[in-house]
Structure 1
């Protein structure tokens, strides 16, 4: 890691700048065209570099999309489910409504990349496994929630969180992107809370 006494060389600085440009250029192209329609040559051309330069930084567009996700999407998703763990500890329905509202806002933040992510998941077996591992990581971040479930029902506890993630994503896609669900965000948060707040309560012992 560079320090004041050991700064980056000009070559290293240029390499980091090129990588950042590739990430931003690809993000814009994926948002505009989706995943399948974007070629490595398109990404390279968008940032003014060669195909060879692209491959110095990424093995392909699949690795690039993963890097975009790791840059912001995955860490913030984990943060959201760590926050859900805290919310469930409070036992407050109102806090859960607030959490669902923030989750909807989170999807808004990343909505331009969701179609590309879905395409890559459908088309690329390796990416499908990456996406699966990402989903599995979310309930694992909810340590307090899992601790309230008996050992023989841990798989069910995790499944409930995974199904919550799936429903939130599907709702957002149909509501905000396809326009096939006509409801306000506030009303949606209330109804989703009616469904999921009781569903995430641990069974009585």
Structure 2
């Protein structure tokens, strides 16, 4: 499940020397949109421009995953996207701007995911719901792992990016806490701490899978994790 890019929402390229649909610079050779300081999330693109931006975003994810955010360079992203520096700067001011656009997409996907978490009862129906959520979370982490790690490890000193992470994980954690209460589970005096522990476990296991450090079969891993979480946090019988 991949959310459509929210970063390409409202930028309108023109024909009069402004950036074109193909991602080319303006008439004077300068990447006008980036030079103007308009963030990626504030531009509306036509079809080819959206494809170009998507290619850059996907390349950024690959490079951030391979090299880490701090070691990644615009050169690496341009090379991975098989495009030019001029095209990159048409859409993004720098690599942080690109990460910000990815963070918007990731936060959108996680927030939407929170809305889909149904009741997690102590029975088999609740177990199936929990496993479905964990499978979706793992899929999102596989795609957006570099963004989620940037949030968790405070890699970027950008308050807007941080706020997106807080909003997304608050939505997930809030819904899981609600489902715990509905299940009638009293697992801790401080439920907020319990939800935090559950989220931390999910994030670390997903990181292990996405990074290749955990090599178990997905189905076996999800079954094991579901059993642990269902019993430990939602009152499933042993």
**Which TM-score bucket, shorter chain as reference?**
0.5 to 0.7
| Compared CA separation, residues 36 and 195, structure 1 to 2 (3 A) | same
Equivalent residues of 1:100, 1:193 under 8 A apart: yes
Matched, 1:167 2:201: yes
Find the residue that maps to 1:125 and give its secondary structure: coil
Higher helix share: 1
2:123 paired residue number: 93
The partner residue of 2:226 within 182, 189, 198 is 189
Within 5 A, what are the aligned runs for 1:133-152? 133-140=167-174
The partner residue of 2:75 within 24, 36, 41 is 41
| Compared CA separation, residues 172 and 187, structure 1 to 2 (3 A) | same
RMSD: 3.7
What is the TM-score normalised by the length of structure 2?
A: 0.59
Structure 2 unmatched ranges of 5 or more: 1-11, 22-45, 183-189
Structure 1 unmatched ranges of 5 or more: 1-6, 149-155, 200-205
Equivalent residues of 1:30, 1:38 under 8 A apart: yes
Which protein has greater RCO, CA pairs closer than 8 Å, 6+ apart? Answer: 1
1:114 paired residue number: 145
What is the TM-score normalised by the length of structure 1?
A: 0.66
Task: Tell me the distance in 1 between the aligned counterparts of 2:181 and 2:134.
Answer: 27
2:165 paired residue number: 131
Task: Tell me the distance in 2 between the aligned counterparts of 1:50 and 1:196.
Answer: 50
Task: Tell me the distance in 2 between the aligned counterparts of 1:122 and 1:144.
Answer: 27
TM superposition shift of 1:193: 0.6
Task: Tell me the distance in 1 between the aligned counterparts of 2:175 and 2:228.
Answer: 25
| Compared CA separation, residues 34 and 49, structure 1 to 2 (3 A) | same
TM superposition shift of 1:196: 1.3
Find the residue that maps to 1:96 and give its secondary structure: helix
Matched, 1:25 2:51: no
Task: Tell me the distance in 1 between the aligned counterparts of 2:174 and 2:162.
Answer: 19
Find the residue that maps to 1:123 and give its secondary structure: coil
Task: Tell me the distance in 2 between the aligned counterparts of 1:49 and 1:175.
Answer: 30
Equivalent residues of 2:75, 2:85 under 8 A apart: yes
Equivalent residues of 1:93, 1:193 under 8 A apart: no
Report how many residues are paired.
Answer: 182
